[in-house]
Amino acid sequence: MDFLRETLGLKGSHLGCEHGVCGACTVELNGHTVRGCLTLAVQADGGTVDTIEGLSRAGVIRDLQDAFVQRNALQCGFCTSGMLMAAKELVEQRPDANRAEVREWISGNYCRCTGYHAIVDAICDVLQQRKAAAGHTEASA
């Protein structure tokens, strides 16, 4: 996380607890979310690191970002990049997740502002939207 934030200037991922608890530092390493604060830069040598900046620019989480705004799923925003990284992994890996499973999935990401309900609402919205776009009609939440 120090390398991303201080050397590369990518400040979108945040440092909260700095010991693997809060999830504010979540990034993807080789397609899987990791705690940035517990991952040494040398561990990513030769691998692919995706941050909130790259995913935002690529547009791959546009629907999640829109849903977070529409549902008021952020207040101070400190947790938001980590939440979005976790949510991205969820909607890709568990497209049929129900509300309880969404809550469990994001339980490793702390939010001190929202009370979580709006975040879960936003993620459930995107699960339903993506299912509808994929031609499914079943509700996921």
User: Which of 32, 62, 112, 136 touches ligand FES by CB under 6 A?
Assistant: 112
3-state secondary structure 46-88: CCCEECHHHHHHHCCCHHHHHHHHHCCCCCCCCCHHHHHHHHH
18 binds ligand FES (CB under 6 A): yes
CA dist 61 and 58 (Å) reads: 8
Query: Taking the complex as a whole, how short is the minimal distance between the CB of residue 23 and ligand FES, in angstroms?
Result: 5
79 binds ligand FES (CB under 6 A): yes
Tokens for 71, please give them.
């549902």
User: Which of 3, 10, 11, 20 touches ligand FES by CB under 6 A?
Assistant: 20
Q: Which residues bind ligand FES (CB under 6 A)?
A: 15-18, 20-25, 35, 37, 74-79, 111-114
